[in-house]
A and B are shown apart, each in its own frame.
Chain A
Amino acid sequence: MSDAQGAMGDLTAKVAAGEPLSSQDRDLLVATRDLLALGMLADEARRRRHGDRVTFVRVARMPCRPRQGEPSEVPPTAGEIRIDGPIEDVVQAAARIREVLALSDGQPVSAFTLGELDRWSSENGIPLGDILRQLREAGLELVAEAELDRLERSLEACEAVATSGLTIARVTMKDPPPQGVLSLFAELRSLQSALGSLRAFAPLPRTLSALAPSTGYDDVKQVALARLLVDNVPTIQVDWSLYGPKLAQVALSFGADDVDAVSPVNDAGAEGWRRSALEEIRRNVAAASLVPVERNGRFELL
């Protein structure tokens, strides 16, 4: 057994006992080329927190400005109704939130990214807190995303969210340069130490390159490192619609405990062939020897 293998082995006992990792341990994890040993550690850390349970949420997406004639129905199966920007006007956004809320059947409504709200606030000279309060009063519960690499003043912005009575549905990264990912992990860890309210982190980039997409190795390593290095955020999630069932499922064995953005409607295929999204996600989680449990945007188990 090589020294590196031995050191990774020592880490297993630490992770299993829930002991904090030293900076040397962290360096070792980042440097390792042993993907499966890293995956095992992340899996152990995930099981310590979540056991065999994997949560998933079905998300319905609605535009902030629907085009004329666009249907404004919310699938009753959605556990989160997400309004996508761009935000152009707070009064209109608040009106849209009220409209969607009326259709939501009690499920939480999320909207926008924190970065776009913050930028809109600076461009229009309106304090971020005021915007968030107006949206909250209209019935918004969740800021849909906080893109860590797009937030200039992450702590202030996150604090403004908490003060206004809103919650961040998921912390994400839009398209961080690969060499910047670890410092974003560190930033998130200290952000959470200060806030304590962040619930979920999606460590895979939201923007995918068509010519040179991230590789399977990179993706699962990033998920595993997120689980082990950002150890104070309870949920590490992977996006079903963005990354697809195969990678999302494998990520569950590398530290992820939650699947985001499952479709609330069945995927229609050619020749009338339909695939139940609910059945697919359950089947995939079970095939990874884990137990699927549906949640909503509030992390209430359904």
Chain B
Amino acid sequence: MRDTDSLMSQHLAPIVEKVEAGDRLSADAALCLYRDAPTHQLGQLADLVCRRKHQDGIVTYIVDRNVNYTNVCVAKCNFCAFYRPVGSSEGYVLGFDEIFRKIDETIELGGVQLLLQGGHNPDLPLRWFEDLFRAVKQRYPDFRLHALSPPEVIHLSRLSQLSVPEVIDRLVRAGLDSIPGGGAEILVDRVRTLLHCYGKATSDEWLDVMRHAHRAGLRTTATMMYGTVETLEERLEHLCRLRELQDETGGFTAFITWSFQPAHTERGGSEATGVEYLRTLAIARLVLDNFDNLQASWVTQGGKVGQLSLAFGANDMGSVMIEENVVRAAGAAYCMDEVEIVRNIENAGFIPMRRNMHYEILGGPVFRAREIPRVLELATARAEGDTSVPPELRQYPAKSWVGKAERQRRS
């Protein structure tokens, strides 16, 4: 062994022992591992911790659809390739009927929920969401709505001038089942300022929405988008803040991390590499000792590194998605349907099981029980060139000047 290697191992040895003993890692200890541990060793430790939590050899996934109800957004985060400003000819809002059609297609593929997120559109008031959720629940009583990340909830709170708990309460009464952990990026305000996402939600505000949601009995996920301006220390600060809130509420079901996708964004630059992704996933598994589930982000890393995530601390292959718009806008266009996800899970030596958002097992693969069509390309929100405006929008007051003029013209 090389001298530097042996010095390195000596300095890591007590931290490795801590992990093996199941002790909690401090941010400093985690930083040593993240910075200095060889990639395989980091993976082995994450795998050890993951297997302790999941001794049944099961790797889960969900059949759901990732729907973005609007791409119009006033937040203008500089890492986002998806949004269009108010008044853009490329801006869209999905109609209720379009969303119902997407739900029908999802159910046909064995899907159980929509992951519904969108831009901060000033012309979609809280009532639009309440009506949509009610209409969905009326038509599809068992179908779940995993919807509106914390910054969207804050946006609705500002738009409606209601407090965050009130907004959550109204959405839950309308049919909201759980909240996705999007919009967290890095929960450090220095970073959020540089990414132009401090305005949409500060770190504390993001965490507060989740706190309120957990108190209201909702389960949520947590995320981290890394690879922009943050330091390794700030990534760990992010993880530690999530860990603290999880200690307090126990409301997070899962954690998902992905790398910033730079193409077509104002920020630009390069994407963090595959090895950095696997290391980040592994360190998240070690720090987030109170999270049961870590998802693999095959949609940003591709199927191969997505599958390798299962050796680096992930116990869930995420969603079959069916549709995806946000990552695609930034240049990545990977696709895995249920057949592919199951094949990858089994190939890695695990048992594939379908789950819901609460990580309750629903059963084995749908395609083994009945014939379903293969999906070789993820759908998009709308067909290219479709600029239709849903008729029901007329019933909702717009806030923006452009939106008001447009609604007046249509009515």
Contact = CB atoms under 8 A, between A and B. Distances in A.
B294 interface: no
Contact of B304 (A37, A212, A219, A288): A219
B274 interface: yes
Contacts of A219: 304
A302 interface: no
B273 A287 contact: yes
Nearest to A285: B273
Contact of A215 (B44, B344, B374): B344
Given A36-B43, A36-B47, A249-B273, A273 B268 contact: yes
Contact of B273 (A43, A212, A269, A284): A284
B181 to A, nearest CB: 24
Nearest to B348: A217
Nearest to A284: B273
A203 B263 CA distance: 32
B1 interface: yes
Contact of B274 (A217, A246, A273): A246
Contacts of A215: 303-304, 307, 343-344, 347-348
B38 to A, nearest CB: 8
Interface string A214-251: 01111110000000000000000000000011110110
Interface string B302-320: 1111111001000000000
Interface string A268-288: 011101010001100110011
A39 B40 contact: yes
Contacts of A35: 311
A33 interface: yes
Interface residues of A, number: 37
A280 B41 CA distance: 26
B263 A220 contact: no
A217 B348 CA distance: 6
Contacts of A33: 349
Given A215-B344, A215-B347, A36 B306 contact: no
Contacts of A271: 264
Contacts of A249: 273-275
A53 B25 CA distance: 33
A216 B307 contact: yes
A16 interface: yes
A216 B308 contact: yes
A181 B239 CA distance: 42
A218 B274 contact: no
A40 interface: yes
B1 A246 contact: no
A263 interface: no
B310 to A, nearest CB: 8
B278 interface: yes
B264 A246 contact: no
A216 B303 contact: yes
Given A16-B1, A273-B264, A287-B275, A212 B302 contact: no
Interface string B338-361: 001001100111000000000000
Query: Is chain A's interface secondary structure helix, strand, loop, or mixed overall?
Result: helix
Nearest to A290: B275
Nearest to B298: A216
A212 B307 contact: no
A69 interface: no
B276 interface: yes
A273 B344 CA distance: 33
A246 B302 contact: yes
Nearest to B331: A269
B249 to A, nearest CB: 34
B39 interface: yes
A172 interface: no
B301 interface: yes
A213 interface: yes
A25 to B, nearest CB: 19
Contacts of B39: 253, 288-289
A41 to B, nearest CB: 10
B149 to A, nearest CB: 26
B270 interface: yes
Contacts of A270: 263-264
Contacts of A217: 307-308, 311, 347-348
B380 to A, nearest CB: 16
Contact of B270 (A16, A218, A283): A283
A3 to B, nearest CB: 18
B264 A253 contact: no
Interface in B249-277: 263-264, 268, 270, 272-277
A252 B136 CA distance: 49
A68 B10 CA distance: 65
A264 B39 CA distance: 30
B1 A43 contact: no
Interface string A1-38: 00000000000000010000000000000000101110
Contact of A253 (B40, B263, B343, B374): B40
A36 B44 contact: yes
A241 to B, nearest CB: 15
A16 B2 CA distance: 11
A284 B44 CA distance: 22
Contacts of B347: 215, 217-218
Interface in B28-74: 38-41, 43-44, 47
Nearest to B44: A36
A214 to B, nearest CB: 8
A247 B264 contact: no
A287 B303 contact: no
A275 B331 CA distance: 13
Contact of A245 (B44, B263, B273, B374): B273
Contacts of B44: 36-37
28 contacts: A36-B44, A36-B47, A39-B40, A40-B38, A40-B41, A43-B38, A43-B40, A215-B343, A216-B303, A216-B304, A217-B311, A217-B347, A219-B304, A220-B308, A244-B302, A246-B274, A246-B301, A246-B302, A249-B275, A250-B274, A250-B304, A250-B308, A269-B331, A273-B264, A283-B273, A287-B273, A287-B275, A289-B38
Given A245-B274, A283-B270, 13 more contacts: A33-B349, A35-B311, A36-B311, A211-B376, A213-B304, A215-B307, A216-B303, A216-B304, A218-B347, A250-B308, A270-B263, A279-B270, A284-B273
The 3 tightest CB contacts between A and B, nearest first, are: A216-B304, A246-B274, A216-B308
